[in-house]
Amino acid sequence: MHGRLRALDRRAGSRERAARHVAAGVALTAGAVAISALIARRGESGGDDGLAHPPAFQRPKALFGMVWPPLFMALTLSGLRLWNAPASRARTRALSLWTALQGLNALWMSFGPRRLGGSQLTTAVATVGTACAYAVEARKVDAPASSLAAPYVGWMGLANILTGQLWRKSGAKAEA
């Protein structure tokens, strides 16, 4: 049992911090990611946006549903590792970018396929840019935290390409 606790301690980067500090970090990071995921789920379900007909395309739910949970877990652990790092300006910058990333992620996914256009494109670009900046800043504080964010950066780039391709194809079909 003691070995498992040490392994968890290493993964969370808690550096033998007080249990209260680690618990607060878990609550904050998991809470932020959970709120982002809930907003995303609402966006994927379409919400009531006043449209009388469904969108011309849907994001591939099976693919997105399979990828998001591990990415959310990795982002949670990444934020927790930074939370547990010693206080510094670099840590504050990285945590600020992590927080902004959660908001942008929720915004990007809340648009859903019904609201493609300039707002979603702007949010998508801002999300990828912020994710890259976060990975750079996190590396200055805790290299594993940065590495945990790398799959998210790659996925957001790929997800934006997929969404753009689906959008273009649906526009071509609608015009035909």
Domain limits of the chain? 2-175
Reference 75, options 119, 129, 37, 124; nearest CA is 37
* Distance of alpha carbon 57 from alpha carbon 34, whole angstroms: 26
Task: Report d(CA 40, CA 34) in Å as an integer.
Answer: 10
> What sections of 1-142 are H helices per DSSP?
2-12, 19-44, 61-84, 89-111, 118-141
- Hey, is 129 helix, strand or coil? helix
At 24 the pLDDT is 82
> What's the confidence (pLDDT) of residue 72?
83
Report the predicted TM-score, pTM, of the whole model to 2 decimal places.
0.70
Regarding the domain delimited by 2-175, which CATH topology (the fold level of the hierarchy) does it fall under?
A: Ferritin (1.20.1260)
- Residue-wise pLDDT tens digits, 99-143: 999 888 888 777 765 555 667 777 878 888 999 999 999 999 999
Residues in Cβ contact with 131 at an 8 Å cutoff, skipping those fewer than 6 apart: 101, 149, 152, 153, 156
Nearest to 78 by CA among 128, 29, 27: 29
Residue 99 neighbours by CB under 8 Å, 6+ apart: 32
Low-confidence ranges of the chain (pLDDT < 70): 1-17, 40-65, 112-118, 163-164, 166-167, 170-176
Instruction: Quote the pLDDT of residue 96.
Output: 96
Residue 142, number of CB atoms within 10 A of its CB = 22
pLDDT value, residue 41: 67
> Among 93, 64, 92, 73, which residue's Cα sits nearest to residue 29?
73
Counting beta carbons within 10 angstroms of the beta carbon of residue 175, is it exposed (0 to 12), middle (13 to 18) or buried (19 or more)? exposed
